[in-house]
Amino acid sequence: MALLEVNDVHAYYGYIHALKGISLTVEKGEIVTLIGGNGAGKTTTLRTISGLLKPRHGSIIFEGEDIAQYRAHQLVAKGISMVPEGRGIFAKLTVLENLEMGAYLRKDKDGIAKDMKRVFELFPRLAERKNQVAGTMSGGEQQMLAIGRALMSRPRLLLMDEPSMGLAPVLVELIFDTIEEINKAGTTVLLVEQNAHMALQIAHRGYVLQTGEIVLSNTAKELQKDPTVQKAYLGIE
Amino acid sequence: MREKFFERFSWVSLVLNSFRIIVIILIVVGAFNTLQGGKYTTSQWVSLSVSGLAQGSIYALIALGYTLVYGILLMINFAHGEVFMAGAFTAVFVAEAFKESGFLDSSPLLAVTILILVAAVVSTVVAVILERVAYRPLRGAPRLVPLITAIGASFFLQYTFRGLYGSGFKSYPEVAAVQGTWHIAGNDIPIVQIVVFVAAILLMVALYWLVERTKVGKAMRAVSENKEVAALMGIDIDQIIVMTFAIGGALAGAAGVINGLYRPQGVSFTMGFFPGIKAFTAAVLGGIGNIPGAMLGGLFLGVFESIGPNLILEGLGIPAANQLKDAIAFTMLVLVLIFRPQGILGERLTEKKA
């Protein structure tokens, strides 16, 4: 059984039909990426899975349970965590407080301390700045914080929305290495990216979205070789 | 350079700047004349300031309720004065019973603490019901809608409590332990003012600790920054909003009893209006949505309306200046709205979007 199974999901923003029957699966242990242009529905797909947006039609099965009607804060307890678009850190809270918010639902103090240590090992920069107000950090550091914070709930499925957005190439590399590392440690990742080149390098499988529909799906290796993907998303003529 | 100057020049800023200068001149001239006249002694100024601090600390407690709710919902809960009234009005009956049984005089500290708890519980319940019934269904409606509802809820609460307790005026019984004065550094200061000030400060410290150090407080700050991301952390937004109303309500209820110590008279179903408006002024003054701002704004307003009339208006030759206390308070609100709309400690509203 797949960890996540999205079946024929339709979602709307007001009157705009943003998702027109999305179906996808994510197996345990995978990195799956959604690529596509602006307005293709990548972010909307993640928002629907994370419970921020309710689907009008269709089912979302996570670990065998239909979660389509749950709200976002309930899904965190079920094991889904999201790194939102534009990082969404709490700018006025300190780095430490941001991480504590990530562990909001947990009561096991020892476990939280252990995971906090792990996040600081993953991103030593955060350890240096743990008492700093998060809004004063650079974009890259904020992205590290957003990822670390999402890990603090010990998710079984990590949704990531454009983690490379607005970052310098060196940092993009670092962030993607970390995503691979997180995945190897056992967390399944569903990754939305504009940077299809990087995303397909680390992903096992990928889906291509266009105007609210999935137009192509295959293993990442095959997608990299696919002439239409190369032309439209990888900039290879 | 010349062109740049004319580009920036505008009639609005000219009018505002001249207005600003006029206000400053009036304040300076008024204060100078009064001090020159030497009508008041230092100890009179001290006693005016202390009573201003006592009154201001009560404003601050109520102002915190406005500011907490605004910080999270960007909404002014105009029924908050009635939340204050609910606690103060209910506790007055308990206070009377305590007085009759002699409990109030035999162990005043315990009795007043119980009164504060009673008022806090009543106000909390009222605030939470208000949120559930009047505001929650309107979440996501245009911002004018909950504002109008708040005014309606305010009248509803006033007349509900009139129905419950009648329309007569009641007053808090005298607490013997806080009568009299303390002699501090050459000034006689009424004990009640010190007690009021200390009690209010203790509550504010408790609130500050709650917001800064506890998990709920951190969640409140997270929700006020970004509701959607807070939900992604597993924070139940509705629960935090209820908590916010409850905490604001508890502070208002406590302020009701503390206010009863300071000004025992005039307990009735309409008693919430004026303190509510004043506290709202204080919250705006300090920067609405900003917690230290509400505390500072309350104290500042209390002191300013206490010494302002004598210091400024009298020096300008205005008779019976003491009766113009409220005029001073609201003039200050208008001035703040014109010259520093974000308040003393507030940040510019445009930053809120980030």
List the single residue in B221, B229, B234 with the smallest CB-CB distance to A88.
B229
Tokens 């995978």 belong to: A30
Query: Which residues in chain B are contacts of A91 at CB distance < 8 A?
Result: 225, 354
pLDDT at B352 > cutoff 60? no
List the single residue in B221, B225, B233 with the smallest CB-CB distance to A104.
B233
Both tokens of B66, joined, read 């406005």
Residues of B with CB under 8 A from a CB of A: 215, 218-219, 221-222, 225-226, 228-237, 354
Computed over every residue of chain B, the mean pLDDT equals: 88
Computed over every residue of chain A, the mean pLDDT equals: 92
User: What number is the average pLDDT over the span A81-110?
Assistant: 93
What pLDDT digit, counting tens, does each position of B129-144 carry? 999 999 999 988 898 8
pLDDT at B349 > cutoff 80? no
List the single residue in A72, A77, A97 with the smallest CB-CB distance to B232.
A72
Contact A37, A229 (CB under 8 A): no
The ipTM is: 0.92
Query: Which residues in chain B are contacts of A51 at CB distance < 8 A?
Result: 231
Query: Which residues in chain A are contacts of B236 at CB distance < 8 A?
Result: 73
User: What number is the average pLDDT over the span B25-30?
Assistant: 86
The pLDDT assigned to B280 comes to: 93
Please answer yes or no on whether B221 and A92 come within 8 Å at the CB atom. yes
Closest CA to B221 of B345, B342, B68, B353: B68
Query: Which residues in chain B are contacts of A71 at CB distance < 8 A?
Result: 231
Tokens 């991301």 belong to: B229
The pLDDT assigned to B176 comes to: 81
Please answer yes or no on whether B229 and A97 come within 8 Å at the CB atom. no
A52 touches chain B (CB under 8 A): yes
List the single residue in B221, B235, B354 with the smallest CB-CB distance to A73.
B235
Domains of chain A: 1-79+158-237 (3.40.50.300), 83-154 (no CATH)
Alpha-carbon torsion, ordered A197, A202, A205, A206, to 10 deg: -30
Sheet holding A188-193, edge to edge: A80-83, A157-161, A188-193, A31-36, A205-210, A213-219
pLDDT at B189 > cutoff 70? yes
**pLDDT tier, A194 (very low <50, low <70, confident <90, very high otherwise):** confident
| This model's pTM is above 0.80 | yes
**pLDDT tier, A32 (very low <50, low <70, confident <90, very high otherwise):** very high
The pLDDT assigned to B5 comes to: 58
What pLDDT digit, counting tens, does each position of B155-182 carry? 999 999 999 998 889 999 988 888 888 8
- Which residue has better confidence, B307 or B210? B210
Pairs of CB atoms within 8 A across A/B: 65
The pLDDT assigned to B184 comes to: 79
Cα distances (Å, whole numbers) of residue B88 to B121, B168, B193, B307: 11, 14, 18, 27
A153 touches chain B (CB under 8 A): yes
Contact A185, A20 (CB under 8 A): no
The pLDDT assigned to A81 comes to: 95
- Poorest-pLDDT segment among A179-183, B221-225, B286-290, B323-327: B323-327
**pLDDT tier, B4 (very low <50, low <70, confident <90, very high otherwise):** low
User: What number is the average pLDDT over the span A73-98?
Assistant: 94
Secondary structure class of A102 (helix, strand, coil): helix
What pLDDT digit, counting tens, does each position of A210-228 carry? 999 999 999 999 999 988 8
The pLDDT assigned to A106 comes to: 93
Beta bridge partners of A219: A205
pLDDT at B57 > cutoff 90? yes
Packing angle of the helix pair B191-213, B42-73 (nearest 10 deg): 30
What pLDDT digit, counting tens, does each position of B285-337 carry? 998 888 999 999 999 999 999 888 888 887 777 777 778 888 888 888 888 88
> Helix, strand, coil: what percent of chain B each, to 5?
80, 5, 20
Query: Which residues in chain B are contacts of A50 at CB distance < 8 A?
Result: 232
Q: B139 to chain A, minimum CA–CA distance in Å?
A: 16
The pLDDT assigned to B348 comes to: 58
Residues B283, B294: Cα–Cα separation, whole Å: 5
Contact A46, A82 (CB under 8 A): yes
Please answer yes or no on whether A84 and B229 come within 8 Å at the CB atom. yes
What pLDDT digit, counting tens, does each position of B89-126 carry? 999 999 999 988 988 888 889 999 999 999 999 999 99
The pLDDT assigned to B327 comes to: 86
Tokens 């609100």 belong to: B333
**pLDDT tier, B14 (very low <50, low <70, confident <90, very high otherwise):** confident
User: What number is the average pLDDT over the span B256-267?
Assistant: 91
Residues A151, B226: Cα–Cα separation, whole Å: 19
Residues B331, B321: Cα–Cα separation, whole Å: 14
Query: Which residues in chain A are contacts of B233 at CB distance < 8 A?
Result: 73, 76, 101-102, 104, 149, 153
In A, residues 95-114, which contact B (CB 8 Å cutoff)?
97, 100-102, 104-105
Query: Which residues in chain B are contacts of A89 at CB distance < 8 A?
Result: 229
Nearest CA in chain B to A146: B229
**DSSP designation for B56:** H
Please answer yes or no on whether B232 and A88 come within 8 Å at the CB atom. yes
Residues B237, B227: Cα–Cα separation, whole Å: 7
Q: A143 to chain B, minimum CA–CA distance in Å?
A: 14
The pLDDT assigned to B353 comes to: 38
The two beta strands, B181-184 and B187-190, are: antiparallel
Q: Tell me what percent of the residues of chain B surpass a pLDDT of 70.
A: 95
Question: How far, rounded to the nearest angstrom, does the alpha carbon of residue A216 sit from its chain's CA centroid?
Answer: 20
